[in-house]
Structure 1
Amino acid sequence: MRRTIERQAPLFEGADWDYEKLKRAYDAIELIARKDLGLDTYPTQVEVITSEQMLDAYASVGLPLMYRHWSFGKSFAYNEALYRKGLQGLAYEIVINSNPCLCYIMEENSMTMQTLVMAHAAFGHNHFFKNNYLFKQWTDASGILDYLAFARDFVAKCEERYSVSRVERVLDAAHALMDQSVNRYARRGLSFAEESKREKERRQYAEQTFNDLWRTVPTKATLEGFDTKEAAQFRQETNRRFGLPEENLLYFMEKHAPKLEGWERELCRIVRNIAQYYYPQKQTKVTNEGCATFVHYEIMHRLHEKGLLTDGSMLEFLHSHTSVVFQPDYDDRRYGGINPYALGFAMMEDVKRMCLDPTEEDRYWFPEIAGNKDPYGTLRDAWANYRDESFILQFLSPHVMRKFRFFRVRDDAAETNMLVDAIHDEMGYRDLRAALARSYDLSRREPDINVVELDMAGDRTLVLRHAVYEGILLDEKTSQSVLRHLVELWGYPVRLIESDATTDAVLKTHALAPDA
């Protein structure tokens, strides 16, 4: 039996918007989001900004408050030049994982686009931020805005007291180490609000105490008097005292770098806290954008069905939506990889289809959800409990693989030709799904580097290990650049050993010492 929907007067007509129209559209969106889709969101604060303010947000990595750094100005100038020349567009919105959730929309948008981005960001992203387990575990949405204000003010005070050049030197080094400065396996530390409150306590404690560790450690001459067992015990004790191995490089520098002053340690702490804030977003691009795109698609269609959107507005929306989820073929010159919006939206639409109208193939592959008649409940569970890798491994169906015409290429350095060893057919479905899921595994996309040893009795060389998977070594030029930043913070020689993750065989060694 087909449902009948009472037609209502349109929320707006034409492209022009005003705040009254925005309020009416927001209220209509919220009713559908909560009543029909069952979304649970933070309170939302919608702010209208100019294109220049949007460019400024781009420059400061999408955060509403940020300390000053030359790289942000460089990014602003670059994006502004492209935008003014018509070579690059701007995002319709930026949304902040905070409580309340901040949703910035551009004043240049038409009223239809304002409606779309409020559905997309203020409800789709907002629901994902509040409910996904990674964000709940690793981020402090209630404290981020206060912490950013603290960080901005602290950096400004340091620039005034110690000079801009000294502050930039530390921030340059810390920014270079951001990707290797997150806690991946265990949460350590306080909330953002508690961190900012304790900064003054940490500084006062440091001024009242004196750590004589570095002057009183055994010298190399002393160590030479140890037998092999005693020397090994000393190294083990050193590793234990310094908490080695340590995956979070900035945390290690903040706690143990012998030459850093208190304010420099606080700068390292600020940068690593911001890096940790972004850690879940790097793992949920497909699921987060897929959730927001699916939500705005559902809401906009329901608004149109109720008569709240005109046919003209619906056509404008569909034009924008299809551009967002467009996936170029692999041999198209526009191809730049798999579009996360396209893949996420296609998979979530497919989950809805399987829940409502499954095929025999769906029942074989997904017996738990096929025909359960609860698509939105199934998707809310997926949005809460999966990241990109696990979501693809669990929900990517043969139907979607055929739609995208996926195939896998094996590129063996020992072979002269590449081999297509799996395609979207009965033999290749599982291999394709596993391979695609692995490509979203952050541990495979970012180097696995740990501080593993410290020469306390010698020249205080810091030793790091890069666990090499599938023979992929670090780029030499980039490695030397990052080592210079490590030496800048550590103050003594640094050695980076690249060894096979399985056999521990040393494949390459990088070393750098401070300038004399």
Structure 2
Amino acid sequence: MSRSLESDARLLYTGPDWDYRLVRKTFDAIERIAMGEMGLNPYPSQVEVISSEQMLDAYASMGMPLFYRHWSFGKHFARDEMLYRKGMTGLAYEIVINSNPCLCYIMEENTMTMQTLVMAHAAFGHSHFFRNNQLFKAWTDADSILDYLDFAKRYVSECEERYGADAVERVLDSAHALMSHGVHRYPRRTLNLKQEMERERERRRFQEQSFSDLWRTLPRRESDDGDDDPDLDARQHRLGLPEENLLYFLEKHAPRLAHWQREILRIVRVVAQYFYPQRQTKVMNEGCATAVHYAIMSRLHETGQITDGAFMEFLHAHTNVVFQPEFDDPRFSGINPYALGFGILQDLKRVCEDPTDEDRRWFPDIAGNGDALGTWKTAWAEYRDESFILQFLSPRMMREWRLFSVLDDADERDLIVDAIHDDSGYRELRRALAAQYDLARHEPDIQVVDVDLAGDRRLVLEHRVLDGRLLEERNTLMVLRHLANLWGYPVTLAEVDARDHHILHEYDDVEPDRVIA
């Protein structure tokens, strides 16, 4: 009887129901394992319980708790709500924000076991990855993102009151169309959102203090942009061309944009830049969080802090998360990032603790080192998806997943299996899979290469084509129209082969269809 009472005393909870006291108690137990035993280094956490409707609202606004208003967010909310109410799709168990403190939203519909799982997954797994991965360190500012989003929301709202909702919507429509081309792919300086907000306040104070209506009565002289500059190299140097960040170029050089419109472009590209590391680390981020929650939940069960029934409930949810359908399964939609990330990490643990001769040949630096957690932490800190797969995907896992590579050449009648399970095939297969997570291969490389400032101010862009993959014409024309609307003058795009610079296709003189003013 005393042993049973002692066992019951160790239990964090005994049923599916939860309250805030149980959530706090369980969070503390998870924290002791995550930080005390595993040595994780997450941000301080702020756990908030939200309803399914609030979760849908967060879905619609890119997962952010504060955001400006735009009609596209309402469209996404209506679609997701309809699918959820009809039972055609489910909702995530949680949403986590890369901020300091780390915001972890958990659904009130979750059972206590699911609340435990998602706190381990998000508040410690994701949070540790956010805080320690080099990409997030270089590109994000977790200390200030919530303040910046509040500033952005207020700024857009003020612009709507001052200039009209329609005028603001036109700028946001065009900026959102170019959002994926609004990032710097190579670090220029560490993002500091507090400085971004202060810069706008200083600019506004200067305008208010120096404004005089008499200035508009003075005769205007021609802008320096109108000077005749026949030297292409000099013109490109002055404008910083070529420039891959289209929103940045428009913000700095678009002739017709007002200061508030430039600030909105800046807000959109700062948000795009903030999400850029997440697009490069989906497999690693979810793999890290899944491996962490698996280790913590297993440890809670080993120490008698959750029941066998709660552990079985966890295993059911975890198995669903890491399930990878076969290629001929109706549910197949590609490789599940949770499954791939978790699978590589678990296999990496095996290599560290119980390596084979094959593992010692492929991973001589880590095979048998006995420090799986330390190896994980190094991988989480130093790699992104492409390099993570290229470095740590093992032959054993390729065999277990039955992976092989197929060459699909448009000039050939048949498909060719060009990588099988031998040493050279493993290396080729690993390179092929890693290439699927290289954003440079999947996002078009479009750059501003020239602008005729002395003539009709036509903006000239160039798409450097890889592997003969041209842009889809209809969508390209629509995006170029948005670009022309912001620029205010015609836009030309040439698609050129990245190897020999041969022109493959051209979009000539796409005119703006409305004036953004």
What are the Cα deviations for residues 176-201 of structure 1, in whole angstroms up to 9, with x where unaligned? 11111101113247511111111132
Equivalent of residue 344 in structure 1, options 341, 345, 357: 341
* Cα distance in 1 between the residues matched to 2:344 and 2:48: 31
**Which stretch has the larger CA shift, 100-109 or 423-432?**
423-432
Counterparts of 2:79 and 2:150, CA distance in 1: 26
Q: CA deviation at 1:239?
A: 1.1
Correspondence 1:504 to 2:501:
yes
CA-to-aligned-CA distance 1:288-316 (integer Å, 9 cap, x gap): 00000000000000000000010000110
Counterpart secondary structure, 1:126: helix
- 1:493 maps to a residue whose letter is P
Whichever residue aligns with residue 150 of structure 2, its letter is: A
Do residues 478 (structure 1) and 475 (structure 2) align? Answer: yes
Instruction: Give the SS at the match of 1:450.
Output: strand
Hey, what does 2:185 align to over in structure 1?
A: 184
Cα shift at 1:216: 4.7
Q: Report 1:48-127 matches (<5 A).
A: 48-127=49-128
RMSD across aligned positions (CA): 1.8
2:372 aligned residue (375, 382, 389): 375
* Contact persistence 1:411–1:419 (CA under 8 A): yes
Q: Is the 8 A contact 2:94 2:118 kept in 1?
A: yes
Deviations, residues 27-86 of structure 1 (Å, cap 9, x unaligned): 111111112211001100000000000000000000010000000000000000010111
> Contact 1:38 / 1:376 at 8 angstroms: preserved in 2?
no
Q: In the comparison of the two structures, how many residue pairs are matched? A: 500
Q: Once the 2 structures are TM-superposed, how far is the Cα of residue 460 of structure 1 from its aligned partner? A: 0.3
Structure 1 contact 214–258 (Cα < 8 Å) conserved: no
Match among 295, 312, 315 for residue 315 of structure 1: 312
Contact 2:286–2:341 (Cα < 8 Å) also in 1: yes
CA distance in 2, matches of 1:201, 1:452: 32
2:388 corresponds to: 391
1:301 to 294, 298, 303: 298
Q: Is the 8 A contact 2:485 2:513 kept in 1?
A: no
1:93-492 counterparts in 2 under 5 A? 93-188=94-189, 190-205=191-206, 208=210, 215-217=223-225, 231=230, 234-492=231-489
1:32 corresponds to: 33
C-alpha separation in 1, matches of 2:189 and 2:490: 28
Q: CA deviation at 1:360?
A: 0.8
Cross-structure match for 1:226: none
Residues 507, 205 of structure 1: CA spacing in aligned structure 2 closer, same or farther, 3 A cutoff?
farther
Q: Secondary structure at the match of 2:12?
A: coil
Amino acid at match of 2:164: S
Question: Contact between 1:206 and 1:262, CA under 8 Å: does it hold in 2?
Answer: no
Mean Cα deviation higher: 290-299 or 205-214: 205-214
Q: Distance in 1 between the 2:456 and 2:330 partners?
A: 52
Moved over 4 A (4+): 204-214, 216-219
**Contact residue 47 and residue 104 of structure 1 kept, 8 A:** yes
Q: Which whole-Å CA distance do the structure 2 matches of 1:235 and 1:395 have between them? A: 46
Change (3 A) 1:265 1:188: farther
Aligned to 2:511: 513
* Corresponding residue for residue 228 of structure 1: none
CA deviation digits over 1:447-472, x for unaligned, max 9? 11111101112100011111100000
Distance 1:514 1:461 in 2: 11
Q: CA deviation at 1:205?
A: 4.9
Counterpart Cα distance in 2 of 1:441 and 1:195: 30
SS of residue matched to 1:428: helix
Report the residue type matching 2:84 in the other structure: Y
Is residue 138–residue 187 contact of structure 1 (8 Å, CA) maintained in 2? no
Query: What does the per-residue CA deviation read over 1:226-246, in whole Å, with 9 as the maximum and x for residues that have no partner?
Result: xxxxx3xx2222111111111
Q: In 2, distance between residues paired with 1:30 and 1:303?
A: 11
Matched-pair contact (CA < 8 Å) for 1:203–1:262: no
- CA distance in 2 between counterparts of 1:142 and 1:462 reads 38
Structure 1 pair 84/508, CA: closer, same or farther in 2 (3 Å)? same
Contact kept? 2:138, 2:191, Cα under 8 Å: no
Q: Secondary structure at the match of 2:312?
A: helix
In structure 1, the gaps of 5 or more residues are 1-5, 224-230
**Deviation (angstroms), 1:427:** 3.9
Aligned residue for 2:433, secondary structure, equals helix
Q: Any stretches of 5+ residues in structure 2 without a counterpart?
A: 1-5
What letter is aligned with 2:381? A
Deviation at 1:103, TM superposition (A): 0.2
Instruction: Go from structure 1 to structure 2 and tell me whether the alpha carbon gap of 1:110 and 1:190 turns closer, same or farther (over 3 Å shift).
Output: closer
CA spacing shift, 1:467–1:299, aligned 2, 3 Å: same
Per the alignment, in what secondary structure is the counterpart of residue 463 of structure 1? strand
Distance 1:213 1:175, change over 3 A: farther
Identity of aligned residues (%): 63
2:8 counterpart of 1:11 = no
What do the CA deviations read for 1:326-382 (whole angstroms, capped 9, x no partner)?
001111121111100000000000111111111111111101001101000010000
The residue type paired with residue 165 of structure 1 is D
- Distance in 2 (CA, whole Å) between partners of 1:489 and 1:189 is 27
Distance 1:40 1:213, change over 3 A: farther
